[in-house]
Amino acid sequence: MAANRKVIITCAVTGAIHTPSMSPYLPVTPAEIAAAAIGAAQAGAAIVHLHARKPGDGAPSQDPNLFREFLPKIKAATDVVINLTTGGAPTMTVEERLQPALQLKPEVASLNMGSMNFGLYPMLGRFKEFKHAWEKPYLEGSDDRVFKNTFKDIAYILNSCSDNNTRFEIECYDIGHLYTAAHFLERGIVKPPLFIQSVFGILGGIGPHFEDVVQMKRTADRLFGNDYYWSVLGAGRNQIPIATMSAALGGNVRVGLEDSLWDGPGTLAKTNADQVKRVRTIIEALSLEIATPDEARQILKLKGKNNVAF
């Protein structure tokens, strides 16, 4: 949609890309995830995007019971919009990935718009020692792993959650994913306004250059017109530069330790709130305002925090 003066900040708190060995600040336990999400909300995030991890070794998990350990704490402490992953990790089945959103009925859930190579193995060149046995093979195996999101998978997730009134953060890692989103819009399986999250800098998806960002925006404008809101996430060191481009182009932004471990060159972010504060400073320097959670609900036409199952 046309540039709105209220910029929605999403914070992706922990994710499945990074492993606990990569940063001592990555939230792993339910208590850590809750504290990280609350801190991000207090710093200005209108939405928090949440994965879960096994407390013992930090491995990605889509066990709804783990989500139940931190979601009520976040809901009680803040008004933040909660967005649950249906992506989980590329090693999981689509049925496994769906369970938290299906059972807990959040206001927002993420949804990937296509199967893709999802290369994490270059991280092995930067990280040599690992705390847990699953970490190195998880990264190594990504050179021969397809993150599966077929048309059937996407329809399965959308149709399974249709009675929940959950809206989707529609994650598009390449131009073709925008056309897939348009396909499901034409079929009436997703309803406007769409919340399109363009992802830049993942090996296997579109690159992080300015021309890539503009191409994504121009294509989305042509496909969706006034029926969508646009947000971006940049992986790794691309996080803040791409967020700045989006804010300048009238879009919204996503930051967080799922997408980048850094708070400036060579400096690990100690909290998700650090990254939220950094991007908030940039947004406000552009004479823009950040959206509150309730403003984000109004913009995206969400069902409200009390209409969830946690």
**pLDDT value for 3:** 45
Contacts of 239 (CB under 8 A, 6+ apart): 233, 255, 259, 260, 262, 275
- pLDDT tens, 188-240? 999 999 999 999 999 999 999 999 999 999 999 999 999 999 999 999 999 99
Residue 167 CA to residue 162 CA, distance in Å, equals 9
pTM above 0.95, yes or no: yes
Distances (CA, A) of 296 to 42, 75, 213, 263, 305: 15, 16, 23, 25, 12
- pLDDT tens, 92-137? 999 999 999 999 999 999 999 999 999 999 999 999 899 999 999 9
Q: φ and ψ at 117, to 5 degrees?
A: -70, 135
For the chain, give every domain's residue range: 6-300
Which DSSP helix (H) or strand (E) runs through 167? strand 167-172
Check: CB of residue 268 under 8 Å from CB of residue 262. Answer: yes
**Topology (CATH level 3) of domain 6-300:** TIM Barrel (3.20.20)
